Amino acid sequence: MMITTNSPKPNPNKSLLQFIVLINLLFVNSRIIPLNPLPSLSDDDPPVYLWPLPSKFTSGNQTLTVSPDLSLYLGSGSLIVRDAFERYRGIIFKHSSGSPSGERSEPVYDITNLSIIVHSDNEELQLGVDESYSLFVTKNDGLSIVGQAVIEANSVYGALRGLETFSQLCTFDYETKTVKVYKAPWYIKDKPRFAYRGLLLVSHSLRKCSVILNDENRALDGTGAGYPDLWPSPSCREPLDVTKNFTFDVLSGILTDMRKIFPFELFHLGGDEVNTGQIKFLAEY
């Protein structure tokens, strides 16, 4: 005798409910570790854009005003830094004109002076020069050790990088017609990530409406007209004639004049392809 029993079929709705309850229990009991975000901004403050992002920086929650008569205190007589300060002051206060709106009396600004301290008098730009800098931006309230805005660098080129960052911290407020620094006090310590940076401008896509396309270089070409003795013959103007001392006198004069204009360790003589097969020959020569 066979006895058969009909097993109850599983309820799909019940299984789905159990699955949802299990997921909720796991989510509640799990430990959530939040990431440390960048300094947050309040709804009233516009975002602060720093590009490229400094390697080390801290900020606060104060809003400082920058005087349109911002002055420079420079610990040296560097013309490079002075000229750069004037350029960046024109950028920072590009939209400023007159007194702030709503001000009946002489306004009081939090930042009236920018101090730049450069520890080296050497202003030669060489590959590998120290371009690091430190930037402090605080309110001059008598309590801060630093006070106001201070850029400290080992070279003038580090000071230029600090000026660029300081200009990015300055934001023009169109309502009050003033320049402000949000999320102060700021402490930034940074340096370029790469020792050599390059910029390629692709000009083939620019509009040709105002560009003269006539090429007259070939018509005005006069290679060897001034110094015909530099070439082996009138029909051979490609290599220089190295059998004559006159050729080396001309080259020496050119390099001497260029050295006076560009006092750098590296001097590029031109050319884009390198014949690696000649390296051994040149080394032996």
Helix 79-92, helix 156-169: angle, nearest 10: 10
CB contact burial 227-251 (16+ within 10 A = b; e otherwise): eeebbeeeeeeeeeeeeeeebeebe
Burial class (CB in 10 A: 0-12, 13-18, 19+), 270: exposed
To the query of whether residue 86 is one of the catalytic residues in this protein, the response is no
**Cβ(54)–Cβ(169) below 8 Å:** no
Q: Residue 168 in contact with residue 49, Cβ under 8 Å?
A: yes
Report the alpha-carbon distance of residue 76 to residue 125 in Å, rounded. 17
| Tokens of residue 249, six digits | 């006198």
CA distances from 96 to 9, 44, 91, 183 (A): 78, 21, 10, 21
Asked if residues 264 and 124 have their Cβ atoms less than 8 Å apart, the reply is yes
Q: In this structure, how many other beta carbons lie within 10 angstroms of the beta carbon of residue 136?
A: 20
Catalytic residue chosen out of the listed positions 106, 175, 265, 273: 273
- The DSSP result for 35-54, as a single string, is --PSPP--TTSPPP--SSPP
Query: Can you tell me the distance from the alpha carbon of 285 to that of 58, in angstroms, rounded to the nearest whole number?
Result: 57
What is d(CA 271, CA 29) in angstroms, rounded to the nearest whole number? 67
| Catalytic residue ranges | 273
